[in-house]
Amino acid sequence: MANIGFIGLGNMGGPMAANLVKAGHQVSVFDLSEVALAHAVEHGAQRAESAVACVDNAEFVISMLPAGKHVAGLYLGNGIDAGLLEVIKTGALVIDSSTIDAQTSINVGKALAQKGIDFIDAPVSGGVGGATAGTLSFMVGGSDACFNRAQPILANMGKNIFHAGEHGAGQIAKVCNNMLLSVLMVGTSEALQLGIANGLDPKVLSEIMSKSSGSNWTLDVYNPCPNVMPNVPSSNNYQGGFMVDLMAKDLGLAMDTAVHSQSSTPMGALARSLYTMHASAGNGKADFSSIFKLFDKQS
């Protein structure tokens, strides 16, 4: 079993670290939140008093952080504190599962390589439910050798592990996936609201579309209409799941990626505008399926 340092114990990182403990690994954890640290310790992880202490003698270092600036600051330094590249042992493999811009992943990977430290970007899909169940999808950017080395560790946290390409490729795959997810959620929401506005039962309409050409994941697995499907955020007042603020962030990354490659993404741009507007109306902490309410004629 491996000696793993895990930094970032939020809604996703906490369950991921717990699954590594379940798999028998020695897992040292660090987070700025005392509550998150205590919860991880309850699940068998070892508490570290700092990020530096967390990576001491670690064979694998895993991070799950909010944004690119946090990842760059953690590994490369922030002008005040030295980055972890100065203390992670030579030959260790860093696995960053944050969803950030591809260029930051590339920069971090290059800097770590100069210190003899391997790196992959490995953002995830599957939400909190997937993190808890250990069924996440990992989209990996890095060399073949690093991908092969990481696979047994990632398999303790996920079900589907894809090698997208070199450094940064995992991040690009992730933003493409989430851009499509947002477009599907918006389309599903407005179609259901159109049916409701014209007297259809949303459960019946959902079943019709699910068995027809309109079938898609947001309709079949994560229905945005309350009380159509149990055990999804829409039937729990849009609590849990993947926050609107995070979807808006990921759509911003997708648009930055599109600008960089001069790609045309009109549907993604519209989805970003809608999610940004939805967040600005006070829905940022709600699940992203709450975009359904934006199309409610009675709201």
E strand or H helix at 125: strand 124-125
Note whether 118 and 194 are same-domain residues. no
End residue of a domain, out of 145, 166, 187? 166
Single out the catalytic residue among 69, 115, 159, 174.
174
Residue 261's CATH number: 1.10.1040.10
Q: What is each CA distance from 221 to 35, 161, 210, 242, 281, in whole angstroms?
A: 31, 21, 10, 14, 26
Residues 6+ apart with CB under 8 A from 158: 124, 126, 130, 134, 135, 136, 137, 138
Residues 98 and 193 grouped into a single domain: no
CB distance 36 to 9 below 8 Å? yes
| Whether residue 127 is found in the same domain as residue 42 | yes
178 shares a domain with 159: no
Regarding whether 234 and 197 lie in a shared domain, the answer is: yes
Q: Is 174 a catalytic residue?
A: yes
Q: How many independent structural domains does the chain possess?
A: 2
Which whole-number Å values give the CA distances from 45 to 2, 11, 15, 137, 152, in the listed order? 13, 16, 11, 23, 19
Chain-centre distance for alpha carbon 239? 17
CATH number at residue 63: 3.40.50.720
Query: Do 12 and 131 belong to one domain?
Result: yes
Map residue 7 onto helix, strand or coil. strand
For residues 92 and 184, membership in a common domain is answered with: no
For every one of its 299 residues, what pLDDT tens digit does the chain have, with 9 covering 90 and above?
899 999 999 989 999 999 999 999 999 999 999 999 999 999 999 999 999 999 999 999 999 999 999 999 999 998 778 899 999 999 999 999 999 999 999 999 999 999 999 999 999 998 888 999 999 999 999 999 999 999 999 999 999 999 999 999 999 999 999 999 999 999 999 999 999 999 999 999 999 999 999 999 999 999 999 999 999 999 999 998 899 999 999 999 999 999 999 999 999 999 999 999 999 999 999 999 999 999 997 65
CB-based contact 34:23 (threshold 8 Å): no
Range of the domain at 195: 172-295
Residue 45, helix vs strand vs coil:
coil
Residues 128 and 96 in one domain: yes
pLDDT at 297: 76
DSSP for 204-272, written as a single string: HHHHHHHTSTT--HHHHTS--STTSSTTSGGGGTT-SSSBHHHHHHHHHHHHHHHHHHT---HHHHHHH
Domain boundary among 146, 166, 186: 166
Instruction: Give the pLDDT confidence score for residue 241 in this predicted structure.
Output: 86
